[in-house]
Structure 1
Amino acid sequence: MKHSLSFSKVIGAVALISAFAPATAAAAPVYWTDWVSASAGNSGSASGIITLADSSTVNVAYSGGLYSAQISGGANYWSPNAYTSATVDNAPDSLNTDILRLGQGTPMNTITFSTPVTNPIMAVVSFNGPSWTFDAPFTVLSSGCGYWGCDTLNSGNGNILSSTHLGEGHGTLQFLGTFSSISWAENGSENWRGITVGVSDVSPVPAPAAAWLFGSALAGLGFIGKRRSDRVSV
């Protein structure tokens, strides 16, 4: 006679392992850039700082067309909130009202990070009219009504950002991967549309790692079951 592990014991063990595995999908705090200086113009620039939860910092630099920058006080263009989602826990206004006002139709704008960052997020205000073409794929995390009105942000083939009706799209984009810089071209000029960027300290567990944990658990349970059956065999 041989005994094997019951199905309920297998499920219980897997549940125990899952309880200790990090969560893969939950909104996390985003640490938005505090823009501290700016110079307007077709070849404009701006500098800022991201302060993370452990008080470490990432310096952020912008170069490209810049109508103006709001670096202290002023209107809160991040209200109403079109920026939180299943990934983003807090809108930019949770830090300050900082915003870079772009839209001059410059051929290249670039955000540069002093330290490579993972899955950076860009918040966008009043995106209407001409599209933008980025140098990296992105996902639209949230989209909706904001300070200047309503429209839907779209991610198109060729890393193109547009709004459905060329109206006032507000929301957030996420660039998946690790980046030292992000660049994009403006495909025409517009009165202005605002941006800021941020990062989160939280990264999801890769699926292969989770699968390895699950497989290891089942293999271990199988080994234990075999040991037990060998001891009670007649």
Structure 2
Amino acid sequence: MIEQIATYFANNGGQWLEMLGQHLAISGISLAIAAVIALPLGALCARTAFAERLATGAASVLRVVPSLAVLILCVPYLGVGALPAIVALSALAVPPMLINTVAALRGLPADVLEAATAMGMGRARLWLTIKLPLAFPVAFAGIRTAASEVVASASLAAYIGAGGLGVLIYTGIGAMRFDLLWIGGLSVAALSLVVNRLLALVDARARRWQRAA
């Protein structure tokens, strides 16, 4: 098996890099779209308890819907390729980002906010110097969760011709090539771990900056 894997990389290393690039592109675009939707929506829904319950309830329902089901539902309307995969993965990434953003902002200490307001801070300064730094750890945890889920689920993009590392998995299943299954599965798992680790480093650096400030 190890010899077969080594032979694959020796003969198809460029193709593997191309699939890796496709996987990263689909995942990155999906996460960016989800962040543009979820973070402002979370900040808006955090204003009232009713909006918080509504947002978290809807997001929790979306979380139980399998990404493959969303992907299949998108195909009749968006066709095959990268677009339906990005839509499905964005839908997968929105709930954890939204839930954590709402929780982060709703959990801000009221006494700190009141003290900052009493000191004469405007809304913009209050957001930049108090709310965002305090809410960052919890909100960013949602982004990390979404990133791990999206990178792992992006393998499904190959099912509708969007490319990515999932091509190796589906090809291995169809051709009974266990070396391709191992390469595809381990590549996706390693990529997910690497992305999570990089985001953890970003989180740690941001926390050090906060403590220093």
Common fold by TM > 0.5:
no
- Tell me which structure has the larger Cα radius of gyration: 1
TM-score (normalised: structure 1): 0.27
Higher helix residue share: 2
